[in-house]
Amino acid sequence: MNILEQIHSPAELKYLSETQLEIVATQIRELIVKTVAQNGGHLAPCLGTVELTLALHKVFSCPRDKFVWDVGHQAYAHKILTGRLEKFSTLRQKDGITGFPNRFESEYDAFGVGHASTSISAALGMAVARDLDNEDYNVIAIIGDGALTGGEAFEGLNNAGMSKRKLIVILNDNEMSISQNVGALSEYLSLIRIDEKYKRAKKDIQRILGNIPKIGGSVLKTANYVKDGVKNAIVPGGIFEALGFNYIGALNGHSLTDLINVFEKVKANIDGPVLIHVQTKKGHGYLPAENNPSKFHGIGKFDVLTGLPIASNSIVPTYTAVFSRALIDLAAKNKNITAITAAMPSGTGLQKFADVYPKRFFDVGIAEEHAVTFAGGQACIGKRPFVALYSTFAQRAYDQVIHDICLQKLPVVFCLDRAGLVGEDGPTHHGVFDIAYMRQIPNMVVMAPKDENELRQMVFSAVEYNCPCSIRYPRGNACGVPIEEDVEILPLGKGEILQDKENATVAIIAVGSMVKEAMVASEKLSLENINCSVINARFIKPLDEELILNIAKKVKYVVTIEEGILAGGFGSAILELLNQNKIYKPVIRMGIPDEFIEQGTRNELLKECKLTSEDIIQTIKDFEE
């Protein structure tokens, strides 16, 4: 009997017994595994929150009670239980269910997420609004131990604790970020998790509390004092209580009985900020994910029976792998090279660097702002830090890049991976703003390689430039060109003429991932007697003004193409340059339009944004008509 298929809203969970809920948990797990095996997605985080999600929806009344997920990559069970069961097979597909809670997708998704550490701030905002409206629903933030290492989470905790407002923070502690969680907080949590004396004392007190069916306020308060006294005596600090929260935990996050029992008590007695510490296992219920939660944090298609990825058979390296190799080779020649990640060692490729140079590798947790300023500090003392961030996550540290690095001309190199359209993660993760936001900053060199060999050259060249540099490269496989071991240092601010036809009527000025598309288009256009010159700009800042102006003077019009937003992007820079030099010719800018691009495969989205060679051809043919 498939109970799950009979559930049309979470309210119906209130009529199910715990035995029935256990069956539903199994059915949800099976559905998540099957769907992620086909579509890819965040399997391990979602498997770890099935019971937690069921207990939340059993006890509380979403959407009146607000559930604010943090990152939101663990919310598939929430989506399945809130009216999206039938469409769940479209997870992360174009025009399908999104991989993160999304306000436009469902009233049950109280806040749009994807970037970490925002849930407490958003939840407190909702609690304040509730109180101003004299309403009485609950607001619940669900945040992971990794996301809790993000500074904004502490800003939220600090403000919430002082506010004394009724707010529930559920700490979903699976002892993992994407890989091993880092930092003093993580060690503190492990102290609470493992302290047997504390757990014994807590069990005894909970038994006492549990045996008194109707606990009067004074008895409950006294018992809590005893519990807190015991805890504070054993577990130093009670950091959350120091911040004004009533701390409850650590609960078994896979025990529906424990979860429902505590949630009911909190719901009945809440009179201020409460933090419920829930201990879960990332990947719970699917052995391959339990055994390797990092690999199954975010995974592509895989075989359910074996857990083995159904890998693409490409032998072309990813840009990430090329970057990682280049940095390792550079570090072998330069002992001052250091590498910094914000909780993404595997995704940025820096784990390989850490394996070779562990003392020069730093994972600072989900703390991009700290990572940048931390790099600035290192650079003041002669180190040459490379900060590897996903373009989208680097947005968190914009002021630090300006104030702590560029203003001080510190030689920090930003390696922005996942720059451009990332695909199934959708608008929260597309790295489309970095060209615009980096080129605005004085003293910053902004580069984008046309292929993997040029990426290697840029990594080596950035150190020679001895100034703030940003190198951006896309998610996925590179171009499949040979990589020269002996690296040519690129002259700063110099682009490259790939094709300079005397009778050219148009100059295509491309940067980064779009250079390959420009060359393909140019070759096809020449078959139709449309002659193009093609420039690989290489540098978004400083532009190769001489090269660009010389070519522009010889043609009737210019086409620029970038995998970034048009507003203030590379094409804008070319427009500004031509205008400043009184070259008043048409400039057709191709790039990401002024809108958030939804999810899909990377190729689907490049087509949607008209960033393929065919689109360049059509654009030029339309203009030539």
Would you tell me which residues interact with ligand TPP (CB under 6 A)?
45, 48, 71, 73-74, 115-116, 144-147, 174, 176-178, 282, 297, 342-344, 366, 368, 393, 396
Chain positions contacting ligand DXP, by CB under 6 A: 42, 71, 73, 178, 297-298, 347, 418, 422, 425, 429, 475
Distance from C-alpha of 120 to C-alpha of 176, rounded to nearest angstrom? 19
What does the angle CA 130 – CA 136 – CA 141 come to, to the nearest 5 degrees? Answer: 65
- Contact partner at residue 432 from ligand DXP, Mg ion, ligand TPP, none, CB < 5 to 8 Å by partner kind: none
CA nearest neighbour of 473 among 402, 422, 406? 422
Backbone angles phi, psi at 311, to 5 degrees: -75, 155
DSSP string, 521-567: HHHHHHTTT--EEEEE--EEES--HHHHHHHHHHSSEEEEEEEEEST
Least Cβ distance, residue 298 to ligand DXP (angstroms): 4
Is 87 a residue of the active site?
no
401 or 620: CB nearest ligand TPP: 401
73 or 384: CB nearest ligand DXP: 73
The three-class DSSP label of residue 346 is helix
What sections of 384-503 are H helices per DSSP?
Answer: 391-394, 398-399, 434-439, 452-465
Least Cβ distance, residue 429 to ligand DXP (angstroms): 6
- Contact partner at residue 147 from ligand TPP, ligand DXP, Mg ion, none, CB < 5 to 8 Å by partner kind: ligand TPP
139 or 422: CB nearest ligand DXP: 422
The catalytic position among 79, 231, 383, 396 is: 396
The position carrying tokens 């991009």 is 368
What does the angle CA 57 – CA 63 – CA 68 come to, to the nearest 5 degrees? Answer: 80
Least Cβ distance, residue 118 to ligand TPP (angstroms): 8
368 or 517: CB nearest ligand TPP: 368
Q: Annotate 274-306 with b (16+ C-beta within 10 A) or e (fewer).
A: bbbbbbbbbbbbbebbbeebbbbbbbeebeeee
73 or 360: CB nearest ligand TPP: 73
- Contact partner at residue 591 from ligand DXP, Mg ion, ligand TPP, none, CB < 5 to 8 Å by partner kind: none
**DSSP β-ladder status, 557-565 and 506-510:** parallel
65 or 604: CB nearest ligand DXP: 604
Listing from the earlier edge strand, what are the strands of the sheet with 361-363?
361-363, 337-341, 384-390, 413-417, 469-472, 445-447, 539-541
The catalytic position among 130, 282, 450, 456 is: 282
Tokens of 50: 């099935």
**DSSP β-ladder status, 539-541 and 445-447:** antiparallel
Least Cβ distance, residue 174 to Mg ion (angstroms): 4
Please count the other Cβ atoms lying within 10 Å of the Cβ belonging to residue 203: 11
- Contact partner at residue 366 from ligand DXP, Mg ion, ligand TPP, none, CB < 5 to 8 Å by partner kind: ligand TPP
Is 282 a residue of the active site?
yes
Close Cβ partners of 405 (under 8 Å, ≥ 6 residues apart) = 372, 375, 376, 379, 412, 468
10 or 144: CB nearest ligand TPP: 144
Least Cβ distance, residue 177 to ligand DXP (angstroms): 10
Q: Are 602 and 431 in contact (CB under 8 A)?
A: no
The catalytic position among 105, 152, 368, 562 is: 368
Chain positions contacting Mg ion, by CB under 5 A: 144-146, 174, 176
- Contact partner at residue 422 from Mg ion, ligand DXP, ligand TPP, none, CB < 5 to 8 Å by partner kind: ligand DXP
- Contact partner at residue 611 from Mg ion, ligand DXP, ligand TPP, none, CB < 5 to 8 Å by partner kind: none
Least Cβ distance, residue 153 to Mg ion (angstroms): 12
Is 501 a residue of the active site?
no
Q: Give me the active site residues, please.
A: 282, 368, 396
